């Protein structure tokens, strides 16, 4: 098995991150919903006040190989606040290319986000998963996550586009 490194993303990784976001959307059968650009990823993640943080998983080349590291996975996270529990980290996406799954790369990304959560004083680490992605749900449960839909009955809602403008009176 090749050597894997999980590191903080750099601005120069935005092309790879966008490629992987598109792959994730294809996997989730939601390709038509990807509207983000490489420029937006740069502006939103690498400015003075980033809206998100990102980890990338790299496969490192074998000694003596001419190729550089290859980005094969990512995790995008950000901080939210719970009025009941305080500081919380939210993992928006975790994705590993299909040919690299089953090697523990996704678990390494998730564990690194947990380290960040503890370093930042977060009391919770939240994420969501589509109801048909049983493999991911099994992984999260194996790592110790609690399914809040089962346990507490939570449903997540989203206002987008026209609904947001109408709500804001604009």
CA nearest 9: which of 63, 75, 102, 65? 75
Q: What is the C-alpha R_g of the chain? A: 17
Is 140 one of the catalytic residues?
Answer: yes
Cβ neighbours for 36, distance < 8 A, ≥ 6 positions apart = 18, 21
Spot the catalytic one: 74, 90, 95, 140: 140
Active site residues: 140
């Amino acid at each position: 098995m090749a050597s894997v490194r999980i590191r903080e993303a750099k601005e120069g990784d935005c092309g790879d991150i966008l490629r992987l976001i598109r792959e994730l959307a294809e996997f989730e059968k939601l390709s038509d919903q990807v509207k983000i650009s490489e420029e937006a990823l740069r502006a939103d993640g690498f400015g003075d006040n980033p809206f998100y943080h990102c980890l990338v998983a790299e496969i490192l080349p074998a000694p003596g190989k001419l190729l550089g590291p290859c980005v094969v996975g990512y995790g995008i996270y950000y901080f939210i606040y719970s009025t009941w529990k305080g500081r919380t980290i939210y993992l928006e996406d975790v994705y590993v290319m299909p040919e690299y799954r089953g090697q523990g790369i996704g678990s390494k990304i998730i564990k690194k986000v947990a380290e960040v959560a503890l370093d930042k004083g977060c009391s919770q680490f939240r994420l969501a998963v589509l109801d048909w992605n049983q493999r991911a749900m099994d992984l999260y449960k194996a790592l110790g996550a609690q399914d809040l839909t089962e346990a507490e009955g939570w449903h997540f809602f989203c206002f987008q586009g026209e609904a947001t403008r109408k709500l804001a009176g604009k």
